[in-house]
Structure 1
């Protein structure tokens, strides 16, 4: 088994409208899919959105998503519960990833350039089958290949834990905050974008552990 980090690049026609919001609206920056399940053509998902919760909820209303709830996380983020029927294209994409020898490790990340970033744990043979079965309209790029994932019970990587601890010590989690993301990045001698990614992944892992999902 190997851990494979990939990017799937959608077109304007293939990306789901709610995920396209990240690409099209200036007040929505990134979306993390923390948990999802597929059954009878319907997707049930728990997400975290970086951006204006009101903009996101209005989009859900306009798109007539079958079921949803939005839980604001301050003024610049929110969690959401969504259940909606997939169109034929997204059903075929989801089918390519529904196999016994495959685990999708959350979070799945949607970026403004229409890329979908996800981590798979699978065999080389099964990954080859996935690349052959995904719809031709999208492209797939391998970002990294690593050894088998961490043992169960280790919620955070050492790098994520260090980022969380540094942010805590500096006051990033105080209300109101006494340190911003730039201060945490400076302390860690790392780029702001890299630290933001580390913290979001750590938060997603902690949420998944608390909810008992994703493993």
Structure 2
């Protein structure tokens, strides 16, 4: 039976980690485009209330050769980022055996999501079995740090809330603790936003996106369908 795993790789030399450090309040999710030669582009989904901060970080990064805004929805901007050097070139002095890094790309696994943090990457994906997952674990234990965050078997239901961004989870928690969801309400949107240090409109969007995700992964997926 296959495995679904989420794990954290601690390695400050991974691509775009320095940008996450420059703009720590942003959420950065990336997709790799592997079939594009030695310098494959990255698709970067960047969520921040001031996109200019992300673009300034791109422009000051030695890793980024060119970035293009492809689209925007609310606080989330999608960029195509062309690197100035390949992943192997960036990691060359940090990895003991680059052939082992290339071999990970050929394992029976599918990496669905990569989140960039100021200290490394958080990856989640599907793995044929524990032996395949252990290949990732042993490689990154030798070349950085590997921390398993979540592990389930293929077909097991995920816990409610899986898939929320860190900012969405924090917004829900603070709003709940301050009484924003109480009846009657004891904390306004402006008060919760001030606690989080963001605008009320940004908080409203985060709460709506978080609530939509929770609905989609719980009651909206009920089968058979709820009565009309």
Q: TM-score, normalised by structure 1?
A: 0.60
Secondary structure, counterpart of 2:54 in structure 1: helix
Counterpart for residue 36 of structure 1: 32
Bigger Cα displacement from structure 2, 139-148 vs 40-49: 40-49
Counterpart for residue 95 of structure 1: 102
Q: TM-score, normalised by structure 2?
A: 0.57
After superposition, residues 12-91 of structure 1 pair within 5 angstroms as 14-16=13-15, 18-25=16-23, 28-33=25-30, 35-39=31-35, 40-51=37-48, 52-63=50-61, 65-70=64-69, 71-74=71-74, 76-84=75-83, 85-87=85-87, 88-90=89-91
Deviation at 1:97, TM superposition (A): 3.3
Counterpart for residue 208 of structure 1: none
Gaps of 5+ in 2: 93-97, 183-194, 197-205, 217-228
Structure 1 stretches (4+) deviating beyond 6 angstroms? none
Report Cα offsets for 1:103-158 as digits up to 9, x if no partner.
Answer: 1122x11224x14211121121112222333483411111121011579xxxxx78
Counterpart for residue 119 of structure 1: 124
Bigger Rg, which one: 2
Report Cα offsets for 1:52-104 as digits up to 9, x if no partner.
Answer: 31122123223363342124545x54221112232424474862530240011
Counterpart for residue 140 of structure 1: 146
Tell me: CA distance 1:150–1:89, structure 2 relative to 1, closer, same or farther (3 Å): farther
Alignment length, in residue pairs?
170
Is 2:135 aligned against 1:129?
yes
Is the Cα–Cα contact under 8 Å of residues 104 and 135 in structure 2 kept in the other structure? Answer: no
Is the Cα–Cα contact under 8 Å of residues 14 and 90 in structure 2 kept in the other structure? Answer: no
Higher strand share: 1
Gaps of 5+ in 1: 152-156, 168-179, 206-215
Tell me: CA distance 1:20–1:44, structure 2 relative to 1, closer, same or farther (3 Å): same
Report Cα offsets for 1:166-202 as digits up to 9, x if no partner.
Answer: x9xxxxxxxxxxxx855478549xxx99x87x83995
Report Cα offsets for 1:28-51 as digits up to 9, x if no partner.
Answer: 432112x32223332322222233
